[in-house]
Chain A
Amino acid sequence: MRTVAVIGGSLAGLSAARTLRDQGYDGRIVVVGEEDLFPYDRPPLSKEFLAGKIEMADLALTTPTDDAELDLEWRLGDPATGLDRAASSVVLASGREVPADGVVVATGARARTLPGAEHLDGVHTLRTADDAVALRRDLVVSRRLVVIGGGFIGAEVASTARDLGVEVTVIESDPVPLGRVLGADLAATCAEMHADNGVHLITGEVVTGLAGNGRVRTVHLAGDRTEPADVVVVGIGAVPNVEWLAGSGIEHDRRGVRTDAAGATNIPQVVAAGDCAFSHCAYAGAAVRHEHWTNAVQQPAAAVATLLGTATPAPPAPPYFWSDQYGARLQFAGHRHPDDTVEIIDGDPADRRFVAGYRRHGELVAVFAMNQPKLFGRWRRQLSPRIVPAGLP
C-alpha cells in the first residue's frame, strides 16, 4: 500500500493516522478534512471553551512534534464529495482528486437541525469550534436561552449558560432526559440537577416551531404553550456524514457506514471508524453507531489494523462516555438494556455522589457514576468482556 487517504480531519481521522504510523506503515497519508482547522478536541466546546475559559490553541489534538513524526499531507477545508467504485480515488469539493490504495472513512457526524428554523438568527447547533464561537457571541448578550433537547450536549450548554448568568429553559420530549441512556431512576437524579441550578426543565413536551422577526423570540410547544427566548440551542442528536459515499458501492444508510467489529466495510481496501460508522459492537452484541470520544480513539486503531492486515484480536472494551455538567462529573461504561436491573453500589444519589451498577441475569453489564471517578475506574474494570462473534450484522 503506497497511499492511504484518511477522510475526516478530527479525532477519529487523527487516531487512524497515528495508528498507521504506529503499526509501521511508511507510505503517504493524506488527511482530508471539511473544516479548515487542524484536529481539535470537541468535548470542551460545550463547557470550558463555551465559557470562555480556554482558547482554540488549548483544543489542539496535534503536538508540535506530530508534524515531523507523522508526516501527514493535509487537505483541510476541502471535504470529500465522492469515492469512485473501485475505491481508488477520492474526489474533493474543489474538484481535486486523491488517488489512494487504502481509504479510512472517518467523516464523523453533524448536528441534527430543527426543520423550519433556518431563517431565524439566534438558533444554534453545537458541533464545531465555529458553532461554539457563534453561540458564545450570542449567549454573552442574551437573557433567555431555550435548549431543545435534554441530552448531554443540552445539559452541558445549559450548565455553561447558567454560569454566564443567562436564564435557561430546557425542553425535553421524553418523560425524563437521558431516560433511554440511564434508565428512569438515575436519569431522574440527573434531571434534578437542572432545578438545583435554577434551570427550568420542561419534559414530555414537543417543540412545534420557532417564531421571531428575523431573530428568534418564541419557542412554540404543543398545546399553544410558548417559551420566550433570545437564543436557542438545538441539541437533538447527530446525523452521520455518509452522503458523499453515494454511488461508491460502500454499504451505508442513514444509520452510518456498515462495518464489522474491526472496522471492515464490504470493500476490502476501505475501512470506517468513529461517529460515521454503524458497526458491530462486540460488547452490545448488535450493530450500533457510537458517538463517544473514546470510540473515536479506539475504533480507528482496529480499523487501521484491518486495513493493513495486521489485525490482532483484542478483547472488546466496554463503550465509555462521560459528561461534565453543573460541576458534576458523570461517567458511564458498558451497555444497558431497558430490562436490566439497577442497584446503587456505593454512595447515595441524594448526595450527588454515587456509583450504580446495571445487571442482566446477575452479570454486571454497565456502571454509572456521579462524582466518583476513582470508584468508577475500579467498577469499570469489573465489567466482563463480552465475546460475541464478529462479522457483518
Chain B
Amino acid sequence: MILVGSLDDIPLGEAVRVEAEVPIAVFNVDGELYAIDDTCTHQDASLADGWVEGCAVECPLHAACFDLRTGMPSGPPAKLPVRTHEVVVDDGVVYVRVAAAVEAAA
C-alpha cells in the first residue's frame, strides 16, 4: 500500500496527488475518499487539478469527465477509463492499495 498522508490533509472537495509507479489522485467528496490514476487518458493533465462535481472530476485541460467510483469517462475527448484504486483509512492515515497494472478494460 502507498501512504497518502493524514486524512486532515485532504479537505472536503479537494484532491492530493501521490507518486506510485504512476501518479495517483485521491479525492475527498463529502467525506468519501476515491483514488484514481492521476493522468487523464486523453492528454497529459493531472486530474487532481481538475474540477470535482458530484462523483465526477473534470480534466483541467479539455473537460473530459471521469466517474471517481468507476474511472469511466463520460464521453469525448477521453476514450479510455482511468484505473480506480482502493482507499484504506487507518487511524486517520490514508493509504491506497494500488490496483494491478493491467490495462483497464475499455
Contact = CB atoms under 8 A, between A and B. Distances in A.
B77 A61 contact: yes
A361 interface: no
A376 B51 contact: no
Contacts of A293: 62
B46 interface: yes
A377 B50 contact: yes
Interface in B68-106: 75-77, 79, 106
Nearest to A53: B44
Interface residues of A, number: 22
Interface residues of B, number: 18
A293 B60 CA distance: 14
Q: Counting chain B CB atoms within 10 Å of each CB, which of A61, A64, A331, A377 scores highest?
A: A377
B72 to A, nearest CB: 13
Interface string B55-67: 0001011110000
B7 interface: no
B79 A377 contact: no
Interface string A344-385: 000000000000000000000000000001101110010000
Given A374-B49, A377-B50, A294 B63 contact: yes
Most chain A CB within 10 A, of B50, B76, B79, is at B76
A294 B76 CA distance: 11
Interface of B: 43-46, 48-51, 58, 60-63, 75-77, 79, 106
Given A294-B63, A322-B61, 13 more contacts: A41-B77, A64-B106, A65-B106, A293-B62, A329-B61, A373-B46, A374-B50, A376-B60, A377-B50, A377-B51, A377-B58, A377-B60, A381-B51
